[in-house]
Amino acid sequence: MEPSLIAADLDVRHFTHDDLSQIRQALIDVHADAYADAMDDEFNQRFPWFVDHWGGNPGFACVIAYDGDQAVGFAYGAPANPDREWWREHLDPAPEKHRTFSFSEMAVRTKYRKTGAAALLARALVEGRGEDLAVLLVDTEHPRVQALYESWGYRKVGERQPFPDSPVYAVMLTELPLS
Ligand SMILES: CC(C)(COP(=O)(O)OP(=O)(O)OC[C@H]1O[C@@H](n2cnc3c(N)ncnc32)[C@H](O)[C@@H]1OP(=O)(O)O)[C@@H](O)C(=O)NCCC(=O)NCCS
């Protein structure tokens, strides 16, 4: 069957911590396709560690878009630890709302770019969640990706480099539900 290149035809499925072993390889495969031209970067090569780290969180939430039985994109995250809402240091004054969802990673196979798949996944990940805010990091050297998140309602509130070998990231925040 020919692959479908219209996001509306994709099947978006939700997964949790309990599903990690079932979806782990699909996440790694999609990531390898999405970052194919940047896999010489050691940070990108550590992706399986990040999958296990985030997937090991009991609150892990993941959405995967399937075209037939092929995973073509994913988005995942987990509720932020209430005592470690590090983004707050970037806000003055800090908002009263205090439950935050950390949107950790998203990737879409190159063939499915500009189909609406990424928007579908970004929205599906946070839809119906109990948190009031969602936070994510975008490489400051990827302004087009930052613009994409801005188009979905996120705004830059600061910058952060979580690991010495990681990029410098723009910290982006939005209120939930997305409008
Ligand atoms: C981010 C992503 C899901 C968006 O998919 P999409 O909505 O179909 O949008 P596009 O792929 O067209 O990306 C939007 C713009 O960002 C740019 N972009 C996307 N990923 C990029 C990356 N890793 N580095 C630099 N620029 C990137 C694209 O070139 C595009 O630029 P353009 O508008 O000038 O054409 C997809 O591009 C992807 O999987 N990228 C690789 C993984 C990634 O960067 N994830 C985001 C982590 S915060």
Helix (H, G, I), strand (E, B) or coil at 35: coil
Residue 80: its pLDDT value, please?
94
Angle CA 100–103–108, to nearest 5: 160
pLDDT class of 4 with cuts at 50, 70, 90: low
Contact status, residue 100 vs residue 139, Cβ threshold 8 Å: no
Nearest to 149 by CA among 177, 129, 172: 172
**Best probe residue, ligand 1, of 28, 29, 112, 113 (max atoms within 8 Å of C-beta):** 113
pLDDT tens for each residue of 135-152? 999 999 999 999 999 999
Among 47, 144, 154, 174, which is best to mutate for testing ligand 1, by the most ligand atoms less than 8 A from CB?
144
Q: Is the per-residue pLDDT at 1 higher than 60? A: no
Q: 16-25, 106-115, 161-170 — which is least confidently predicted?
A: 161-170
Check pLDDT > 60 for residue 43. Answer: yes
Domain ranges of the chain: 7-175
Report percent pLDDT > 90 for the chain.
79
Between the CA of 83 and the centroid of ligand 1 the distance, in Å, is 32
Assign 3-class secondary structure to 123-171.
HHHHCCCCCCEEEEEEECCCHHHHHHHHHCCCEEEEEECCCCCCCCEEE
Q: Give me the chain's average pLDDT, please.
A: 93
pLDDT of residue 154: 96
Measure CA of the first residue to CA of the last residue in the chain; give whole Å.
36
The pair of three-digit structure tokens given for residue 86, joined into one six-digit string: 């590090």
Q: Note the pLDDT of residue 3.
A: 65
Higher pLDDT, 91 or 75: 75
- Going from the Cα of 45 to the center of ligand 1, the distance in angstroms, rounded, reads 18
Q: What is the CATH number of domain 7-175?
A: 3.40.630.30
